[in-house]
Chains A and B, each alone.
Chain A
Amino acid sequence: MNRIKRPTEADVFDLQTGIGESDIPFEDKHFFDIAGYLVLEDLLTPDQVAQARDTLSSVAAASTENMTVLSRSPAEKELINIIEGGGTVEDAMALPRVIEYVQAFIWGNQYRLVGSRGILRTPGAHTPLTQGGRADPRRYARYRCFGDGQFRCLMITCLIALCDTANGDGVFCAIPASHKANLPHPYADTDLNAIPSLREIPLQAGAGVLFTENLSHAFKPPARRMQAWLSYQYGPSYMVNCPGCEPSAGLLARTADDPDKSHLLLEPYYHPTGSQKKKTM
Protein backbone atom coordinates (compact mmCIF):
# COMPACT_ATOMS: atom_id res chain seq x y z
CA MET A 1 0.00 0.00 0.00
CA ASN A 2 1.37 3.40 -0.90
CA ARG A 3 1.74 5.67 2.06
CA ILE A 4 1.13 9.37 1.67
CA LYS A 5 4.02 11.43 2.97
CA ARG A 6 2.74 13.92 5.46
CA PRO A 7 4.42 17.32 5.28
CA THR A 8 6.65 18.13 8.18
CA GLU A 9 6.86 21.50 9.85
CA ALA A 10 10.12 22.20 8.03
CA ASP A 11 8.46 21.42 4.68
CA VAL A 12 5.86 24.11 5.20
CA PHE A 13 7.63 26.81 7.13
CA ASP A 14 10.88 28.66 6.80
CA LEU A 15 11.69 27.97 10.41
CA GLN A 16 14.69 30.20 10.28
CA THR A 17 15.92 32.75 7.78
CA GLY A 18 19.08 34.72 7.33
CA ILE A 19 21.34 32.02 8.72
CA GLY A 20 24.88 32.46 7.49
CA GLU A 21 24.09 35.70 5.68
CA SER A 22 26.04 37.89 8.04
CA ASP A 23 29.42 38.84 6.65
CA ILE A 24 31.42 39.37 9.80
CA PRO A 25 35.12 38.41 9.73
CA PHE A 26 36.10 34.89 10.72
CA GLU A 27 38.56 36.37 13.23
CA ASP A 28 35.70 38.10 15.04
CA LYS A 29 33.71 34.87 15.28
CA HIS A 30 36.77 33.11 16.64
CA PHE A 31 37.41 35.93 19.12
CA PHE A 32 33.82 36.06 20.34
CA ASP A 33 33.64 32.29 20.69
CA ILE A 34 36.79 32.20 22.79
CA ALA A 35 36.53 35.40 24.82
CA GLY A 36 32.75 35.88 24.99
CA TYR A 37 32.92 39.53 23.94
CA LEU A 38 33.99 41.85 21.15
CA VAL A 39 35.03 45.48 21.31
CA LEU A 40 33.49 47.69 18.62
CA GLU A 41 35.23 51.05 18.26
CA ASP A 42 33.55 54.30 17.19
CA LEU A 43 29.92 53.23 17.30
CA LEU A 44 28.84 56.77 18.11
CA THR A 45 30.31 60.10 17.05
CA PRO A 46 31.31 62.66 19.69
CA ASP A 47 28.16 64.66 18.88
CA GLN A 48 25.99 61.57 19.34
CA VAL A 49 27.73 60.80 22.61
CA ALA A 50 27.04 64.30 23.86
CA GLN A 51 23.40 64.14 22.81
CA ALA A 52 22.95 60.74 24.47
CA ARG A 53 24.48 62.00 27.70
CA ASP A 54 22.09 64.96 27.69
CA THR A 55 19.15 62.58 27.23
CA LEU A 56 20.28 60.44 30.14
CA SER A 57 20.67 63.46 32.36
CA SER A 58 17.18 64.73 31.65
CA VAL A 59 15.55 61.30 31.97
CA ALA A 60 17.36 60.66 35.24
CA ALA A 61 15.62 63.63 36.80
CA ALA A 62 12.32 61.75 36.96
CA SER A 63 10.50 58.67 35.67
CA THR A 64 8.12 59.22 32.78
CA GLU A 65 5.18 57.24 31.53
CA ASN A 66 7.36 55.03 29.33
CA MET A 67 10.69 55.09 31.15
CA THR A 68 11.46 54.10 34.71
CA VAL A 69 14.34 55.33 36.83
CA LEU A 70 15.66 52.67 39.17
CA SER A 71 18.16 53.46 41.90
CA ARG A 72 19.86 50.29 43.04
CA SER A 73 22.01 52.43 45.31
CA PRO A 74 22.54 56.16 45.81
CA ALA A 75 25.54 55.88 43.51
CA GLU A 76 23.82 54.22 40.56
CA LYS A 77 20.76 54.81 38.43
CA GLU A 78 19.27 52.66 35.69
CA LEU A 79 17.00 54.30 33.16
CA ILE A 80 14.79 51.48 31.97
CA ASN A 81 13.50 51.49 28.38
CA ILE A 82 15.81 54.32 27.45
CA ILE A 83 15.01 54.04 23.72
CA GLU A 84 11.84 55.95 24.46
CA GLY A 85 14.09 58.99 24.94
CA GLY A 86 14.40 59.32 21.16
CA GLY A 87 17.28 60.74 19.16
CA THR A 88 20.61 59.01 19.59
CA VAL A 89 19.50 56.65 22.36
CA GLU A 90 16.78 55.40 20.03
CA ASP A 91 18.97 55.25 16.94
CA ALA A 92 21.71 53.35 18.78
CA MET A 93 19.52 50.29 19.17
CA ALA A 94 19.83 49.60 15.43
CA LEU A 95 23.42 50.43 14.58
CA PRO A 96 24.16 48.45 11.40
CA ARG A 97 27.55 47.27 12.62
CA VAL A 98 26.02 45.93 15.82
CA ILE A 99 23.05 44.33 14.10
CA GLU A 100 25.30 42.41 11.76
CA TYR A 101 26.92 40.74 14.77
CA VAL A 102 23.60 40.23 16.51
CA GLN A 103 22.33 38.45 13.42
CA ALA A 104 25.38 36.19 13.34
CA PHE A 105 25.47 35.41 17.04
CA ILE A 106 21.76 34.93 17.79
CA TRP A 107 19.74 33.31 15.05
CA GLY A 108 19.88 34.82 11.59
CA ASN A 109 17.00 37.25 11.03
CA GLN A 110 15.17 35.99 14.10
CA TYR A 111 16.36 38.54 16.63
CA ARG A 112 14.71 41.36 18.49
CA LEU A 113 15.45 44.02 21.06
CA VAL A 114 14.29 42.78 24.45
CA GLY A 115 15.54 45.60 26.64
CA SER A 116 17.37 48.91 26.82
CA ARG A 117 18.84 50.90 29.68
CA GLY A 118 20.77 54.02 30.38
CA ILE A 119 23.20 53.61 33.24
CA LEU A 120 24.63 56.36 35.42
CA ARG A 121 27.34 55.38 37.87
CA THR A 122 29.07 57.64 40.36
CA PRO A 123 31.93 56.96 42.83
CA GLY A 124 30.77 54.33 45.27
CA ALA A 125 28.75 52.39 42.70
CA HIS A 126 29.33 48.70 43.15
CA THR A 127 28.36 45.82 40.92
CA PRO A 128 29.08 42.23 41.86
CA LEU A 129 30.65 39.88 39.35
CA THR A 130 27.87 38.01 37.58
CA GLN A 131 27.93 34.27 37.48
CA GLY A 132 28.72 32.82 34.06
CA GLY A 133 28.76 29.60 32.09
CA ARG A 134 26.83 26.61 33.36
CA ALA A 135 26.54 28.06 36.84
CA ASP A 136 24.64 31.08 35.57
CA PRO A 137 21.09 30.58 36.85
CA ARG A 138 19.69 32.78 34.09
CA ARG A 139 18.75 30.35 31.35
CA TYR A 140 17.90 33.20 29.04
CA ALA A 141 21.57 34.16 29.05
CA ARG A 142 22.81 30.90 27.58
CA TYR A 143 25.71 30.91 25.14
CA ARG A 144 25.60 28.37 22.34
CA CYS A 145 27.91 27.76 19.42
CA PHE A 146 28.31 24.57 17.47
CA GLY A 147 31.35 23.00 15.92
CA ASP A 148 30.37 24.00 12.41
CA GLY A 149 30.53 27.62 13.43
CA GLN A 150 26.82 28.31 13.93
CA PHE A 151 25.88 30.47 16.88
CA ARG A 152 22.57 30.24 18.71
CA CYS A 153 23.14 32.58 21.62
CA LEU A 154 20.26 33.76 23.75
CA MET A 155 20.72 37.18 25.32
CA ILE A 156 23.50 39.40 23.99
CA THR A 157 24.21 42.88 25.30
CA CYS A 158 25.72 45.83 23.48
CA LEU A 159 27.15 48.21 26.05
CA ILE A 160 28.17 51.62 24.73
CA ALA A 161 30.42 53.93 26.72
CA LEU A 162 29.32 57.55 26.88
CA CYS A 163 32.38 58.50 28.93
CA ASP A 164 36.00 57.60 28.46
CA THR A 165 37.04 54.62 30.58
CA ALA A 166 40.35 54.12 28.80
CA ASN A 167 42.22 54.92 32.01
CA GLY A 168 40.45 52.17 33.90
CA ASP A 169 38.17 54.49 35.90
CA GLY A 170 34.79 52.81 36.25
CA VAL A 171 35.80 50.37 33.58
CA PHE A 172 33.72 47.45 32.36
CA CYS A 173 35.46 44.15 33.01
CA ALA A 174 34.91 40.46 32.38
CA ILE A 175 36.53 37.07 32.81
CA PRO A 176 37.30 36.05 29.24
CA ALA A 177 36.02 32.57 28.34
CA SER A 178 33.86 32.37 31.47
CA HIS A 179 30.78 31.93 29.26
CA LYS A 180 31.92 28.33 28.89
CA ALA A 181 32.75 27.76 32.55
CA ASN A 182 31.68 24.37 33.84
CA LEU A 183 32.12 25.53 37.43
CA PRO A 184 30.80 28.50 39.40
CA HIS A 185 33.31 31.28 39.88
CA PRO A 186 34.63 31.42 43.45
CA TYR A 187 34.69 35.23 43.71
CA ALA A 188 31.34 36.06 45.27
CA ASP A 189 32.96 37.87 48.20
CA THR A 190 36.15 38.98 46.45
CA ASP A 191 37.06 42.57 45.70
CA LEU A 192 37.10 43.02 41.93
CA ASN A 193 40.68 44.29 42.08
CA ALA A 194 41.76 41.03 43.70
CA ILE A 195 40.56 38.79 40.85
CA PRO A 196 43.55 38.24 38.57
CA SER A 197 41.55 36.67 35.78
CA LEU A 198 39.18 39.63 35.55
CA ARG A 199 40.15 41.64 32.48
CA GLU A 200 39.51 45.35 32.20
CA ILE A 201 38.00 46.34 28.85
CA PRO A 202 38.76 50.05 28.57
CA LEU A 203 36.63 51.96 26.09
CA GLN A 204 36.76 55.41 24.55
CA ALA A 205 33.50 57.32 24.67
CA GLY A 206 31.42 56.13 21.72
CA ALA A 207 32.94 52.65 21.64
CA GLY A 208 31.01 49.57 22.66
CA VAL A 209 31.45 46.04 23.82
CA LEU A 210 29.19 43.28 22.59
CA PHE A 211 29.05 40.35 24.99
CA THR A 212 27.07 37.26 25.75
CA GLU A 213 25.20 37.69 29.01
CA ASN A 214 26.61 34.27 29.93
CA LEU A 215 29.98 35.94 30.46
CA SER A 216 30.99 36.78 34.05
CA HIS A 217 31.17 40.56 34.03
CA ALA A 218 31.07 43.63 36.26
CA PHE A 219 31.87 47.30 36.42
CA LYS A 220 34.66 48.66 38.56
CA PRO A 221 33.58 51.64 40.66
CA PRO A 222 34.24 55.07 39.18
CA ALA A 223 36.93 56.85 41.16
CA ARG A 224 36.29 60.48 40.38
CA ARG A 225 33.30 61.30 38.24
CA MET A 226 30.01 60.01 36.94
CA GLN A 227 30.11 57.43 34.14
CA ALA A 228 27.27 57.08 31.65
CA TRP A 229 26.47 54.03 29.54
CA LEU A 230 23.88 52.79 27.09
CA SER A 231 22.96 49.12 27.29
CA TYR A 232 20.89 47.24 24.72
CA GLN A 233 19.78 43.64 25.15
CA TYR A 234 19.08 41.47 22.12
CA GLY A 235 17.58 38.01 22.06
CA PRO A 236 16.04 35.49 19.70
CA SER A 237 12.71 36.46 18.16
CA TYR A 238 10.70 34.47 20.69
CA MET A 239 12.25 36.11 23.76
CA VAL A 240 9.88 38.40 25.65
CA ASN A 241 10.71 41.92 26.72
CA CYS A 242 12.60 42.68 29.89
CA PRO A 243 10.35 44.14 32.61
CA GLY A 244 9.45 47.73 31.83
CA CYS A 245 10.74 47.54 28.25
CA GLU A 246 7.49 47.37 26.28
CA PRO A 247 7.70 49.85 23.40
CA SER A 248 5.10 52.60 23.59
CA ALA A 249 2.56 53.26 20.86
CA GLY A 250 4.35 56.50 20.12
CA LEU A 251 7.67 54.76 19.62
CA LEU A 252 6.12 52.09 17.39
CA ALA A 253 4.44 54.79 15.31
CA ARG A 254 7.56 56.87 14.77
CA THR A 255 9.69 53.83 13.87
CA ALA A 256 7.13 52.16 11.61
CA ASP A 257 8.85 53.30 8.43
CA ASP A 258 12.30 52.32 9.62
CA PRO A 259 12.78 48.64 8.69
CA ASP A 260 15.69 48.08 11.07
CA LYS A 261 14.04 49.57 14.14
CA SER A 262 10.60 48.13 13.43
CA HIS A 263 12.14 44.68 12.98
CA LEU A 264 13.75 45.00 16.40
CA LEU A 265 10.47 46.08 17.97
CA LEU A 266 8.30 43.30 16.53
CA GLU A 267 6.19 41.41 19.01
CA PRO A 268 7.86 38.13 20.03
CA TYR A 269 7.35 35.36 17.47
CA TYR A 270 8.61 31.92 16.59
CA HIS A 271 8.30 31.71 12.84
CA PRO A 272 9.26 34.67 10.65
CA THR A 273 6.43 36.66 9.15
CA GLY A 274 5.60 35.33 5.71
CA SER A 275 7.39 32.09 6.29
CA GLN A 276 4.31 29.92 5.76
CA LYS A 277 3.84 27.81 2.69
CA LYS A 278 7.30 28.02 1.33
CA LYS A 279 6.44 24.84 -0.50
CA THR A 280 3.04 23.39 -1.48
CA MET A 281 2.77 19.72 -0.74
Chain B
Amino acid sequence: MTPEERYLFDVQGYLVLRGVLSPDMCHRLNETIDHLETLSRDEVVALGAARKYREPDNVYAKVGTPSAGDLGDYDCEVLRYGGPFEELIDWSHTLPYIEQMIGEPCRLDAASFMSRNSGGAFRFHHGYAELLPYSEYAFQDGEFKCVSAKIGYALTDVDVEDGCFAVIPGSHKSNFTNPLVGQVPDPGHPLVQPLPCKAGDAVIFSEDLSHGAVENRSLKVRRTLFYSYAPAFHCAWHDLAMTAEGFEKRANRRRLELIQGPSPFAAPVVGADAH
Protein backbone atom coordinates (compact mmCIF):
# COMPACT_ATOMS: atom_id res chain seq x y z
CA MET B 1 0.00 0.00 0.00
CA THR B 2 1.22 3.47 -0.75
CA PRO B 3 1.24 6.04 2.05
CA GLU B 4 -1.86 7.62 0.49
CA GLU B 5 -3.68 4.28 0.36
CA ARG B 6 -2.81 3.61 4.01
CA TYR B 7 -4.08 7.05 4.95
CA LEU B 8 -7.31 6.69 2.99
CA PHE B 9 -8.05 3.19 4.26
CA ASP B 10 -7.55 4.37 7.81
CA VAL B 11 -9.72 7.46 7.36
CA GLN B 12 -12.45 6.06 5.12
CA GLY B 13 -12.42 2.32 5.82
CA TYR B 14 -12.25 1.29 2.18
CA LEU B 15 -10.21 1.58 -1.01
CA VAL B 16 -11.33 1.43 -4.63
CA LEU B 17 -8.75 -0.31 -6.81
CA ARG B 18 -9.18 0.24 -10.52
CA GLY B 19 -8.62 -2.48 -13.09
CA VAL B 20 -7.31 -5.19 -10.79
CA LEU B 21 -8.94 -7.80 -13.01
CA SER B 22 -7.69 -7.79 -16.58
CA PRO B 23 -10.29 -7.72 -19.36
CA ASP B 24 -9.32 -11.31 -20.13
CA MET B 25 -9.88 -12.39 -16.52
CA CYS B 26 -13.21 -10.57 -16.40
CA HIS B 27 -14.21 -12.28 -19.62
CA ARG B 28 -13.31 -15.72 -18.27
CA LEU B 29 -15.22 -15.15 -15.05
CA ASN B 30 -18.29 -13.82 -16.86
CA GLU B 31 -18.10 -16.58 -19.42
CA THR B 32 -18.12 -19.18 -16.66
CA ILE B 33 -21.11 -17.51 -14.99
CA ASP B 34 -22.89 -17.25 -18.35
CA HIS B 35 -22.37 -20.96 -18.81
CA LEU B 36 -23.58 -21.85 -15.33
CA GLU B 37 -26.69 -19.74 -15.84
CA THR B 38 -27.64 -21.82 -18.86
CA LEU B 39 -27.70 -24.95 -16.71
CA SER B 40 -30.67 -26.32 -14.85
CA ARG B 41 -30.95 -26.33 -11.09
CA ASP B 42 -29.98 -30.00 -10.89
CA GLU B 43 -27.04 -29.51 -13.20
CA VAL B 44 -25.51 -26.67 -11.18
CA VAL B 45 -26.09 -28.56 -7.95
CA ALA B 46 -24.19 -31.50 -9.43
CA LEU B 47 -21.34 -29.11 -10.27
CA GLY B 48 -21.30 -27.67 -6.74
CA ALA B 49 -22.54 -24.30 -7.96
CA ALA B 50 -26.05 -24.28 -6.58
CA ARG B 51 -27.92 -21.00 -6.92
CA LYS B 52 -29.32 -19.72 -3.64
CA TYR B 53 -32.13 -17.36 -4.46
CA ARG B 54 -32.81 -14.44 -2.16
CA GLU B 55 -36.13 -14.64 -0.38
CA PRO B 56 -38.36 -11.53 -0.28
CA ASP B 57 -38.19 -11.45 3.52
CA ASN B 58 -34.38 -11.33 3.59
CA VAL B 59 -33.13 -9.02 6.33
CA TYR B 60 -30.40 -7.45 4.21
CA ALA B 61 -31.48 -7.79 0.62
CA LYS B 62 -34.22 -5.95 -1.18
CA VAL B 63 -34.91 -8.47 -3.88
CA GLY B 64 -34.96 -7.32 -7.48
CA THR B 65 -37.21 -8.34 -10.32
CA PRO B 66 -35.63 -10.20 -13.23
CA SER B 67 -36.54 -9.52 -16.81
CA ALA B 68 -38.64 -12.20 -18.45
CA GLY B 69 -36.68 -15.42 -18.78
CA ASP B 70 -33.80 -14.26 -16.55
CA LEU B 71 -32.79 -15.66 -13.19
CA GLY B 72 -33.79 -13.99 -9.92
CA ASP B 73 -31.34 -12.47 -7.44
CA TYR B 74 -29.09 -15.27 -6.28
CA ASP B 75 -25.81 -16.09 -4.55
CA CYS B 76 -23.46 -18.89 -5.46
CA GLU B 77 -20.59 -20.52 -3.59
CA VAL B 78 -18.22 -20.29 -6.50
CA LEU B 79 -15.21 -22.02 -4.95
CA ARG B 80 -17.20 -25.23 -4.81
CA TYR B 81 -17.29 -25.03 -8.59
CA GLY B 82 -13.63 -24.11 -8.95
CA GLY B 83 -12.54 -22.89 -12.36
CA PRO B 84 -11.21 -19.33 -12.62
CA PHE B 85 -12.70 -18.45 -9.24
CA GLU B 86 -9.82 -20.31 -7.56
CA GLU B 87 -7.34 -17.90 -9.12
CA LEU B 88 -8.78 -15.01 -7.12
CA ILE B 89 -7.97 -16.65 -3.78
CA ASP B 90 -4.42 -15.28 -3.92
CA TRP B 91 -4.90 -12.59 -6.57
CA SER B 92 -1.62 -10.73 -6.72
CA HIS B 93 -3.24 -7.31 -7.28
CA THR B 94 -5.32 -7.47 -4.10
CA LEU B 95 -3.88 -9.98 -1.64
CA PRO B 96 -0.99 -7.71 -0.57
CA TYR B 97 -3.60 -5.18 0.57
CA ILE B 98 -5.41 -7.80 2.60
CA GLU B 99 -2.19 -8.94 4.20
CA GLN B 100 -1.40 -5.41 5.34
CA MET B 101 -4.92 -4.69 6.53
CA ILE B 102 -5.11 -7.84 8.65
CA GLY B 103 -1.52 -7.63 9.75
CA GLU B 104 -0.85 -11.28 10.58
CA PRO B 105 -1.20 -14.67 8.89
CA CYS B 106 -4.60 -14.67 7.30
CA ARG B 107 -7.03 -17.00 5.62
CA LEU B 108 -9.92 -16.80 3.22
CA ASP B 109 -13.10 -17.30 5.21
CA ALA B 110 -15.73 -16.83 2.48
CA ALA B 111 -16.19 -16.36 -1.24
CA SER B 112 -19.45 -15.77 -3.00
CA PHE B 113 -20.91 -14.60 -6.27
CA MET B 114 -23.93 -12.29 -6.19
CA SER B 115 -26.31 -11.48 -9.03
CA ARG B 116 -28.69 -8.57 -8.56
CA ASN B 117 -31.55 -7.53 -10.82
CA SER B 118 -33.43 -4.31 -11.38
CA GLY B 119 -35.05 -3.13 -8.16
CA GLY B 120 -32.57 -5.03 -6.03
CA ALA B 121 -30.59 -3.36 -3.26
CA PHE B 122 -28.69 -4.25 -0.12
CA ARG B 123 -29.54 -2.55 3.11
CA PHE B 124 -26.94 -0.88 5.30
CA HIS B 125 -25.36 -3.05 7.93
CA HIS B 126 -22.52 -2.78 10.40
CA GLY B 127 -20.51 0.10 11.83
CA TYR B 128 -17.92 0.21 14.60
CA ALA B 129 -20.45 0.99 17.34
CA GLU B 130 -21.94 -2.49 17.02
CA LEU B 131 -18.69 -3.69 18.63
CA LEU B 132 -18.77 -6.95 16.71
CA PRO B 133 -15.51 -8.68 17.59
CA TYR B 134 -15.37 -10.59 14.31
CA SER B 135 -15.44 -7.45 12.20
CA GLU B 136 -13.35 -5.05 14.27
CA TYR B 137 -11.33 -2.35 12.59
CA ALA B 138 -8.18 -1.71 14.60
CA PHE B 139 -4.90 0.12 14.23
CA GLN B 140 -2.03 -0.28 16.64
CA ASP B 141 1.64 0.66 16.70
CA GLY B 142 1.54 1.98 13.16
CA GLU B 143 -0.06 -1.16 11.69
CA PHE B 144 -3.56 -2.20 10.68
CA LYS B 145 -5.00 -5.00 12.79
CA CYS B 146 -8.35 -5.59 11.11
CA VAL B 147 -10.06 -8.90 11.74
CA SER B 148 -12.19 -8.85 8.62
CA ALA B 149 -11.38 -7.35 5.25
CA LYS B 150 -13.42 -8.03 2.14
CA ILE B 151 -12.95 -7.55 -1.56
CA GLY B 152 -15.86 -6.87 -3.88
CA TYR B 153 -14.85 -7.49 -7.51
CA ALA B 154 -17.12 -5.85 -10.07
CA LEU B 155 -17.71 -8.15 -13.05
CA THR B 156 -19.97 -5.64 -14.79
CA ASP B 157 -19.89 -1.88 -15.11
CA VAL B 158 -22.05 -0.67 -12.25
CA ASP B 159 -22.98 2.97 -11.88
CA VAL B 160 -25.16 4.53 -9.21
CA GLU B 161 -28.36 3.78 -11.13
CA ASP B 162 -27.22 0.18 -11.58
CA GLY B 163 -27.22 -0.40 -7.82
CA CYS B 164 -23.55 0.07 -7.00
CA PHE B 165 -21.89 -0.68 -3.68
CA ALA B 166 -22.26 2.13 -1.13
CA VAL B 167 -20.57 2.92 2.16
CA ILE B 168 -20.52 5.45 4.98
CA PRO B 169 -16.88 6.57 4.96
CA GLY B 170 -15.48 6.69 8.47
CA SER B 171 -18.20 4.52 10.00
CA HIS B 172 -15.59 1.88 10.86
CA LYS B 173 -14.75 4.21 13.75
CA SER B 174 -18.26 5.36 14.64
CA ASN B 175 -19.10 5.68 18.31
CA PHE B 176 -22.82 5.76 17.61
CA THR B 177 -25.05 3.05 16.26
CA ASN B 178 -25.73 3.75 12.62
CA PRO B 179 -29.29 5.15 12.35
CA LEU B 180 -29.31 4.17 8.68
CA VAL B 181 -28.88 0.46 9.43
CA GLY B 182 -31.60 -1.55 7.74
CA GLN B 183 -32.27 1.15 5.17
CA VAL B 184 -31.49 0.97 1.48
CA PRO B 185 -28.57 3.39 0.97
CA ASP B 186 -29.73 6.76 -0.33
CA PRO B 187 -27.01 8.07 -2.64
CA GLY B 188 -28.15 11.62 -1.93
CA HIS B 189 -27.57 11.40 1.81
CA PRO B 190 -24.54 13.50 2.82
CA LEU B 191 -22.95 10.61 4.72
CA VAL B 192 -23.43 8.05 1.97
CA GLN B 193 -20.75 7.44 -0.63
CA PRO B 194 -21.84 5.39 -3.64
CA LEU B 195 -18.89 3.65 -5.31
CA PRO B 196 -19.47 3.22 -9.04
CA CYS B 197 -17.12 0.69 -10.62
CA LYS B 198 -16.10 -0.55 -14.02
CA ALA B 199 -15.83 -4.26 -14.67
CA GLY B 200 -12.50 -5.34 -13.22
CA ASP B 201 -12.44 -2.78 -10.41
CA ALA B 202 -12.49 -3.85 -6.78
CA VAL B 203 -13.58 -2.32 -3.49
CA ILE B 204 -11.60 -3.47 -0.45
CA PHE B 205 -13.20 -2.63 2.85
CA SER B 206 -13.20 -3.28 6.55
CA GLU B 207 -16.25 -5.28 7.56
CA ASP B 208 -16.74 -2.73 10.33
CA LEU B 209 -17.63 -0.15 7.70
CA SER B 210 -21.36 0.50 7.26
CA HIS B 211 -22.01 -0.83 3.78
CA GLY B 212 -24.74 -1.90 1.39
CA ALA B 213 -25.83 -1.31 -2.19
CA VAL B 214 -28.08 1.38 -3.60
CA GLU B 215 -31.17 0.32 -5.48
CA ASN B 216 -30.65 -0.93 -9.00
CA ARG B 217 -32.87 1.37 -11.05
CA SER B 218 -31.64 0.19 -14.42
CA LEU B 219 -32.37 -2.97 -16.34
CA LYS B 220 -28.78 -4.17 -16.03
CA VAL B 221 -27.89 -7.13 -13.84
CA ARG B 222 -25.14 -6.37 -11.34
CA ARG B 223 -22.56 -9.12 -10.98
CA THR B 224 -20.14 -9.06 -8.05
CA LEU B 225 -17.71 -11.50 -6.49
CA PHE B 226 -16.98 -11.12 -2.78
CA TYR B 227 -13.86 -12.62 -1.23
CA SER B 228 -13.51 -12.30 2.54
CA TYR B 229 -10.35 -12.68 4.62
CA ALA B 230 -9.65 -12.90 8.34
CA PRO B 231 -6.79 -13.76 10.70
CA ALA B 232 -5.89 -17.43 10.66
CA PHE B 233 -7.52 -17.98 14.03
CA HIS B 234 -10.95 -17.25 12.52
CA CYS B 235 -13.11 -20.03 11.17
CA ALA B 236 -14.76 -20.01 7.76
CA TRP B 237 -18.28 -18.67 7.27
CA HIS B 238 -20.44 -21.77 6.97
CA ASP B 239 -19.57 -23.51 3.69
CA LEU B 240 -18.47 -20.34 1.92
CA ALA B 241 -14.82 -21.35 1.76
CA MET B 242 -15.36 -24.95 0.67
CA THR B 243 -13.52 -25.84 -2.49
CA ALA B 244 -14.12 -28.11 -5.45
CA GLU B 245 -12.85 -31.64 -5.73
CA GLY B 246 -9.18 -31.85 -6.55
CA PHE B 247 -8.39 -28.37 -5.25
CA GLU B 248 -5.64 -29.65 -2.95
CA LYS B 249 -3.81 -31.08 -5.94
CA ARG B 250 -4.35 -28.10 -8.21
CA ALA B 251 -3.69 -25.33 -5.74
CA ASN B 252 -0.35 -23.66 -5.27
CA ARG B 253 1.02 -23.49 -1.75
CA ARG B 254 -0.32 -19.99 -1.05
CA ARG B 255 -3.87 -20.82 -2.15
CA LEU B 256 -3.84 -23.97 -0.09
CA GLU B 257 -2.64 -22.06 2.94
CA LEU B 258 -5.30 -19.36 2.50
CA ILE B 259 -8.06 -21.95 2.31
CA GLN B 260 -6.88 -24.30 5.03
CA GLY B 261 -5.53 -21.50 7.17
CA PRO B 262 -1.91 -21.29 8.34
CA SER B 263 -1.24 -22.62 11.84
CA PRO B 264 -3.02 -19.93 13.82
CA PHE B 265 -1.75 -20.77 17.26
CA ALA B 266 1.79 -21.83 16.48
CA ALA B 267 4.15 -20.99 19.31
CA PRO B 268 6.76 -18.37 18.43
CA VAL B 269 10.21 -19.80 17.89
CA VAL B 270 12.36 -18.42 20.68
CA GLY B 271 15.33 -19.19 22.87
CA ALA B 272 16.73 -22.71 23.07
CA ASP B 273 14.11 -24.09 20.70
CA ALA B 274 15.21 -21.79 17.93
CA HIS B 275 17.82 -24.13 16.42
Tally A-B pairs: CB < 8 A. 64
Decide yes or no: A30 and B7 within 8 Å by CB, A147-B129, A177-B12, A180-B173 being known contacts: no
Nearest-Cβ distance from residue A181 to partner chain B, whole angstroms: 5
Within the assembled complex, what's the spacing in Å between the Cα atoms of A29 and B176?
A: 8
Q: Which residues of A contact B168 (CB under 8 A)?
A: 34
Within the assembled complex, what's the spacing in Å between the Cα atoms of A236 and B10?
A: 28
Task: Answer whether residue B11 sits at the interface, using C-beta atoms and an 8 A cutoff.
Answer: yes
Pairwise interchain contact B174-A34, C-beta atoms closer than 8 A: yes
Task: Answer whether residue B233 sits at the interface, using C-beta atoms and an 8 A cutoff.
Answer: no
Task: Answer whether residue A272 sits at the interface, using C-beta atoms and an 8 A cutoff.
Answer: no
Pairwise interchain contact A183-B10, C-beta atoms closer than 8 A: yes
Nearest-Cβ distance from residue A195 to partner chain B, whole angstroms: 9
Q: Which residues of A contact B271 (CB under 8 A)?
A: none
Task: Answer whether residue A18 sits at the interface, using C-beta atoms and an 8 A cutoff.
Answer: no
Return the contact of B175 from the options A39, A146, A186 (Cβ within 8 A).
A146
With both beta carbons as reference points, the residue of chain B lying nearest to A195 in the complex is identified as: B4
Residue in A34, A36, A175, A183 whose Cβ sees the most chain B Cβ within 10 Å: A34
Q: Which residues of B contact A177 (CB under 8 A)?
A: 11-12, 169-170, 173
Pairwise interchain contact A26-B175, C-beta atoms closer than 8 A: no
With both beta carbons as reference points, the residue of chain B lying nearest to A30 in the complex is identified as: B176
Return the contact of A182 from the options B4, B10, B176 (Cβ within 8 A).
B10
Q: Which residues of A contact B12 (CB under 8 A)?
A: 177, 197
Pairwise interchain contact B11-A31, C-beta atoms closer than 8 A: no
Which residues of B, 139-188, contact A by the 8 Å Cβ criterion? 139, 168-171, 173-179
Q: Which residues of A contact B129 (CB under 8 A)?
A: 147
Number of interface residues of B (CB under 8 A): 24
Decide yes or no: A35 and B191 within 8 Å by CB, A181-B7, A181-B10 being known contacts: yes
Place the interface of chain A in its size category: 20 to 34
Pairwise interchain contact A145-B175, C-beta atoms closer than 8 A: yes
Q: Which residues of A contact B235 (CB under 8 A)?
A: none
Within the assembled complex, what's the spacing in Å between the Cα atoms of A178 and B168?
A: 13
Decide yes or no: A149 and B11 within 8 Å by CB, A31-B191, A34-B170, A186-B3 being known contacts: no
Task: Answer whether residue B8 sits at the interface, using C-beta atoms and an 8 A cutoff.
Answer: yes
Q: Which residues of B contact A197 (CB under 8 A)?
A: 8, 11-12
Q: Which residues of A contact B3 (CB under 8 A)?
A: 183, 186
Pairwise interchain contact A147-B131, C-beta atoms closer than 8 A: yes
Task: Answer whether residue B220 sits at the interface, using C-beta atoms and an 8 A cutoff.
Answer: no
25 pairs, CB–CB < 8 Å, chain A vs chain B = A30-B176, A30-B177, A30-B179, A33-B176, A34-B171, A34-B176, A35-B190, A35-B191, A133-B11, A146-B175, A147-B129, A149-B175, A149-B176, A175-B11, A177-B173, A180-B11, A181-B7, A182-B10, A183-B3, A183-B6, A183-B7, A185-B7, A186-B3, A186-B4, A197-B11
What 9 A-B pairs are tightest by C-beta distance, nearest first? A177-B170, A30-B176, A34-B170, A182-B139, A186-B3, A145-B175, A180-B173, A186-B4, A183-B7
Give me 13 other A-B pairs in contact (C-beta within 8 A), A26-B179, A183-B7 excluded.
Answer: A29-B176, A30-B176, A31-B190, A31-B191, A33-B175, A35-B170, A147-B131, A177-B12, A177-B169, A180-B173, A181-B7, A182-B139, A185-B7
